[in-house]
Amino acid sequence: PFPWYRACLSQGTVLRDETSQSWDVFGYEEAQFVLKNHAHFSSQRTVDGQNVLGNYAPSILNLDPPRHTQLRRLINLAFTPKAIASFQPRIETITHNLLDAMKQETQGKSTEVDLVAALAYPLPVIVIAEMLGVPPEDRDKFKRWSDLLVEGPSDLRPETIMDLMTRRAAGRKELDEYFRNIVQLHRGKDDGTLISALISAQIENESLSLEELLSFCVLLLAAGNETTTNLIVNAWRCLLEHPEAFAMLRENPGLIDGVIEETLRYYSPVQATSRIVTEDIEVGGQKFSKGDRAVVWLGAANRDSRIFENPDTFIPTRSPNHHMAFGHGIHFCLGAPLAKLEAKIAILAMLSQIDEVSAVPTDLTPIISGFVYGVKSFPIQVTW
């Protein structure tokens, strides 16, 4: 998408897309304006899960204030920086187990491994599963549901899309039933899981309803897994495409935070989000009308040369680096600290264990999606 952003940004910060009857917002200031201004730009894009099987409670991602504010405050009670930090030792253990499995498979020699399948994909799924109190024996089932939520169509034929929608609806129903049980098991227990903290979170006698809890659990899988996988893989792609940055990090692992922030800017795992205009308003000199859809291209804003010097260059020491990879305003990513912690642990653990690593020259298959930026597999050659 990057050459396209460059071409669009040279024409203007906001452009009309006649084919999809929507506005494309590319400029950094304009993107912030839209995301900050939630009264004019609604997140109630669709009613969550309204499909053949009936309705589900909308998740916070698709709600506006005042309901969004109330739910997010309740969720924040459970999803605290302290709760995330307390998970660090578990993330480290899970990472080391995955690396050990990777090594066993390659018998300690130099071999090719797929970074996605071996580490970047399983790590976030296992972390979320544990946080939600899913027992290890249910993990495979849980993985399948999680995949189904974000699976893109293999092609764009109507029957392929219909088939995917039907499978997804069935998966969502199973997942809902499964989570109902999990909630039952953890209700009234303060067992340190995120799910028990969510159940007991209370403000002024209000807590999350069962339907809201279920929608939130589903949102965690949909919003947290593939995005984190892509952050880990995109960071390795950045490092292997920029040997000087890789050498710097090897020399000084303290640069890891900068590497992750710059990856988020340069290869943003989420390239775009959207809003619906609630009242006529002007953005970047263009007149948006009530009911219009606005697509906010975070990946383009992150390469706006009015904010970032040499925007198309990967500079891990870039400072300041106020990218918008996690959004902006009231819907700012709830999982940002967790995603960064997982990426940091995954990259440093690999760095400390490998002698040599390089990308296997091959054409990478991008994930089919207008909003997610990542590849389906990333073969690397590793010497342990």
| Positions in the binding site for ligand HEM (CB under 6 A) | 60-61, 72, 128, 219-220, 223-224, 227-228, 231, 269-270, 273, 298, 325-327, 331, 333-335, 338-339
Nearest residue to ligand HEM by CB is 335
Residue whose CB is less far from ligand HEM, 48 or 176:
48
Please, what is the minimum distance in Å from the beta carbon of residue 325 to ligand HEM?
Answer: 5
Please, what is the minimum distance in Å from the beta carbon of residue 303 to ligand HEM?
Answer: 15
Please, what is the minimum distance in Å from the beta carbon of residue 178 to ligand HEM?
Answer: 18
Residue whose CB is less far from ligand HEM, 273 or 321:
273
Residue whose CB is less far from ligand HEM, 94 or 382:
94
Please, what is the minimum distance in Å from the beta carbon of residue 46 to ligand HEM?
Answer: 13
Please, what is the minimum distance in Å from the beta carbon of residue 40 to ligand HEM?
Answer: 14
Residue whose CB is less far from ligand HEM, 228 or 321:
228
Please, what is the minimum distance in Å from the beta carbon of residue 334 to ligand HEM?
Answer: 4
Residue whose CB is less far from ligand HEM, 95 or 273:
273
Contact between 279 and 40 (Cβ < 8 Å) = yes
Residue whose CB is less far from ligand HEM, 8 or 264:
264
Residue whose CB is less far from ligand HEM, 35 or 382:
35
Please, what is the minimum distance in Å from the beta carbon of residue 368 to ligand HEM?
Answer: 18
